Amino acid sequence: MVFELENLTEKVENLSIDSIHNTNWCDIPTEIKLKCIEKLEFKERLSLRRTAKAERSLVDSQKIRFQRGDIYGWKYSEHLFFLLHREKECRKVFPRRFEDINEAFEFLELIRKVGVFENFSISTGDFFTTHRQFVTDDGLLSAKNIEFVGCNIDTVVAVLRKMSNLMESIKIDLSPTEYARLAEILGIPQVQNVPYWHIRNYHLTGSLHKVAQMWIDKKSKIGSTFQVSVYRNDSFNQFLNHFIDRIVSKNDRRVHIRTNVPDRLILLERGIVPNHFLIPYDIDFFRLIVISAEMKESEYEDDCTEWIRKVMPEIYDYYSEGPFEMSDDDY
Q: What is the pLDDT of residue 215?
A: 97
Q: Which is higher by pLDDT, 155 or 250? A: 250
Q: What is the pLDDT of residue 120?
A: 93
Whether the predicted pLDDT of 91 surpasses 80: no
What's the CA gap between 91 and 26, in Å, rounded? 33
In angstroms, what CA-CA distances link 314 with 71, 96, 279, 284, 324? 21, 28, 10, 16, 9
Q: Which is higher by pLDDT, 225 or 100? A: 225
* Average pLDDT of the residues of the chain: 80
Note whether 147 and 163 are within 8 A (CB): no
- Which residues, in sequence order, are CB contacts of 115 under 8 Å at separation 6+? 63, 64, 65, 66, 69, 84, 142
Q: Which is higher by pLDDT, 259 or 138? A: 259
* pLDDT bucket at 132, cuts 50 / 70 / 90: low
Whether the predicted pLDDT of 319 surpasses 60: no
- DSSP for residue 46: H
Q: What is the percent of the chain with per-residue pLDDT over 70, rounded to a whole number? A: 76
Q: What is the pLDDT of residue 202?
A: 84
pTM equals 0.81
Whether the predicted pLDDT of 322 surpasses 90: no
Most confidently modeled range among 10-19, 76-85, 200-209, 284-293: 284-293
* pLDDT bucket at 197, cuts 50 / 70 / 90: very high
Whether the predicted pLDDT of 42 surpasses 80: yes
What's the CA gap between 126 and 152, in Å, rounded? 5
Helices (H), strands (E): how many in the chain?
14, 12
What's the CA gap between 191 and 160, in Å, rounded? 8
Q: What is the pLDDT of residues 248-283, one digit of tens each?
A: 999 888 999 999 999 999 999 998 766 555 555 678
